[in-house]
Each structure stands twice: as C-alpha cells, then as structure tokens.
Amino acid sequence: MTNISVSRILCDFLVLVLCAIPLLVFHEFVKPYKRGFYCDDESIRYPYRPSTVTRQMLIVVGILIPTTLIFITEIFRYSVWEKKCSYAFKSYEIKNRSISRLIVRLYNYLGFFFLGVCFNQIMVDIAKYTIGRHRPHFMDVCKPNIGYQNCPQDHSYIDNFVCTGNDKYLIHESQLSFYSGHSAFSFYGAWYTSLYLQARLYKPLHSKILLPVIQFSLFGGASFVAYSRISNYKHHWSDVLVGMIMGSAIGIINAIFFTRVFEHREIPPCDRKLLSDEIEMEEGRPTCHGQSLRNINNQENIKGSQKNTHISQDSYTKERSHYVSSKTPLISPYDHDRHHLIDHRIITPPVISPRKIDI
C-alpha cells in the first residue's frame, strides 16, 4: 500500500499556480518591445481580419479534447484491460483511506499536461514581449502618424512613431507576432496526446486503424489552426513555423521525460495461479507460463537426448527432488525471457519479484 501525502498534493497545486503567475504578469503588466518599421515594408500592410479560430475557442477545444481522450483511455484500461489484473498493481491510500489507482493516474497525466500548457505559454510570452515583432496587419491597426499615408523616399527606419488607431487592445496585440501561440499550443496538445495514446494503448484494439486515425486527426486539427493564422494575416509564415516547432518540442519533452508515459504501460498476464503461494508437488507445480513440472521435465529429457547430454538419471532425480522440496517462491509473471527460464530452471531456481507495477 502506497501512502500519498496530502502535503505533496497541495505542493503540486502550489507549483502549478506559481507557474501560471507569469502568464498573468505578462498579459496585464508587461508592454511589448517597441520595434520600428520601414514604411515600404509590404509584409505589415495587410488588412485586419478576425480570427477563424479565436483564443477562447482554442483554449476550450485544445484542453477539452486531450482531457477527454485521457479520461476515456484510463477508464478503458482500468475497466477492460486490467479488470482481472488489479492484484498486480500498487494500491494507494490518502490518510488511511483507499483511493482508486484510476484517480491517481488521472491526477498524474492531467497534471503533467497542464504543467506543459504553462511551460508552453511562458515560452510563447517571453518571445512575444521581448521581440515585439509586428503582425501582418500592424499598419492597418496602428495607423502610425509617420509613414502610414505618405512614405518617405529615403527608405529610412522609423522608430519615433505614435499609433493613432482607436483600439488600444488591437494595437497592443499587433506587436506580438513572433511566435504564434496558437500554433505552439495546438501542436503541444497534439504531440502530448498522441504520445500518451501510443504508450497507453499499446495493445491491439478492436480496430488497428483506430489509434492512427485519432492521432492523425489531432495533427490535422493542429495544422488547420496553424495555417489559419497565416490566412487571417495574424502571423508571418516564420512565426507559425517556429510555433509549430516549439510546441512540438515541449509536447515531446513533457510526455517522454517528465510524464514518462512509456515507463508505465505494462499490463501483466492476468492469471492468479502465477502468483499463488501454494506449490503443487509432483503433478503440477506451475511455472511462469502455467506448465507443470512434469511437462517441463519431459521437455528437458527430449531436449537432453537430442543434444546427447550425459547427465545421469540419479543426478537429475536428486536435483529435481531438491527443487520440488524447496519452498522457493514462484517466478515473476513479468519476466518474458521464456527460453532462458526453461534452460536454467533447475540450476538457478526462479524467484518472484516483489515489485508491483506502478500506476
């Protein structure tokens, strides 16, 4: 029984809140770097257009889809794949009260997902506010007092301008082009969720194409979000590309190194006989694969005759009797090196592994 400390849970939530504080500071108190421009720069003279995928839509869909998939996956594993194997997994308790491992798993995978969301957005805001690149619709929104209507012929760099536009929020946002937060967030969610599903649903499902279709849909949706930022004149293509790369990198690092999704995927053979403490004597001592000792001895005799071994019958009987009479525990059901076990079962009696599978 593994005891989960309440203080640890509170500490996790505190760390998550502390990671979210910089996001509030950036959006409420920090002003973007004021970058100048060339008035004949056509890349910042596109018209302003509303977003196809708004920030609110992205947050709702980008969080709802991964959360739903994680919920469904864990419930499926818990109630279907592991229904007969619950004894092989660790048990958990909080203040002497038992808690389902399903809750522990959801806490783990969703907690790391939201931690990655904070990491991803912090990286986005650091780039946006320190670089201050103009969006493609910057001139249409800012309407600078210099270079908007009449462009000087000397191709001079203008940095002492004042925006004359009326919408202060749009003027603020027009200086936050690099890099695309929409692209970074959508690809972060796609990578984290896809790697999670690949690790947790590693056994064949009813349809072999179901998992690839889900993963492809995640990346298809992320690509649509990213490309829409270019067609809506919200970002330059390089902003979107860097956002896709950064979001992908954070999603991969979080899933593999922080969450370690591929280290908690095993499901043991669901056979309680493999874990029984009672040792059947002559007719039926089970091995790790459910074979009786007599069957294995027959296999050994056949194998020995084929190899022309010269092991005496008395020696073999002595070794066999010593092995049967010993009360060594059964081998671990998680060791799948079958041939090695068959070749060394008498000389090196197997032992059971006391370790149970983590979440």
Tell me, letter by letter, the H, E, C secondary structure of 263-310. HCCCCCCCCHHHHCCCCCCCCCCCCCCCCCHHHHHHHHHHHHHHCCCC
pLDDT at 96: 84
Lowest mean pLDDT among 66-80, 101-115, 252-266: 252-266
Report the pLDDT averaged over residues 200-205: 84
Burial of 96 (0-12, 13-18, 19+ CB in 10 A): exposed
Domain residue extents for the chain:
2-263, 275-343
Do 254 and 192 contact (CB within 8 A), yes or no? yes
Q: What percent of the chain has pLDDT over 70?
A: 73
Strand, helix or coil for residue 190: helix
Q: Which residue has the tokens 């490309």?
A: 227
Residue of 182, 310, 339, 344 with catalytic role: 182
* Helix, strand, coil tally for the chain in percent (to 5): 55, 5, 40
Q: Is pLDDT at 194 greater than 80 in this prediction? A: yes
pLDDT: which is higher, 243 or 155: 243
Catalytic residue among 155, 172, 206, 235: 235
Is the pLDDT reported for residue 266 higher than 70? no
State how beta strands 92-94 and 2-3 pair.
parallel
Q: What are phi and psi of 141, to 5 degrees?
A: -90, -45
304 CB neighbour count, 10 Å cutoff: 13
Q: Is residue 203 within 8 Å of 193, Cβ to Cβ?
A: no
CA distance 4 to 256: 24
Q: For residue 169, is the peptide bond before it cis, meaning its omega torsion is within 30 degrees of 0? A: no
Task: Calculate the average pLDDT of the chain.
Answer: 81
Question: Please, which residues have CB within 8 angstroms of residue 85's CB and are 6 or more apart in sequence?
Answer: 267, 268, 269, 270
pLDDT digits (tens, 9 = 90+) for 24-51: 999 889 999 999 999 889 999 999 999 9
pLDDT band with cut points at 50, 70 and 90 for residue 80: confident
Does the annotation count 134 as an active-site position? no
State residue 3's pLDDT score.
Answer: 85
pLDDT, greater one: 252 or 96 = 252
Tokens of 202: 């590693």
- Residue 199 and residue 58: Cα distance in Å, rounded? 26
User: Residues 66-83: what's their mean pLDDT?
Assistant: 92
pLDDT (tens digit, 9 = 90+) per residue, 286-318? 444 444 444 544 555 555 555 444 444 555 445
Q: Look at residue 139 in the predicted model and tell me its pLDDT.
A: 95
Find the distance separating the first CA and the last CA of the chain, reported in whole Å: 12
Q: Summarize pLDDT for 135-148 with one digit per residue, the tens.
A: 999 999 999 999 89
Position 1 confidence tier, pLDDT thresholds 50, 70, 90: confident
pLDDT at 173 over 80: yes
Backbone angles phi, psi at 131, to 5 degrees: -95, -45
Q: Model's pTM, two decimal places?
A: 0.75
Q: Which two tokens stand for residue 43?
A: 């890349």
| Residue 235 among the catalytic residues | yes
Structure tokens at 244: 């896709």
pLDDT at 73: 95
Q: What pLDDT shows up at residue 308?
A: 47
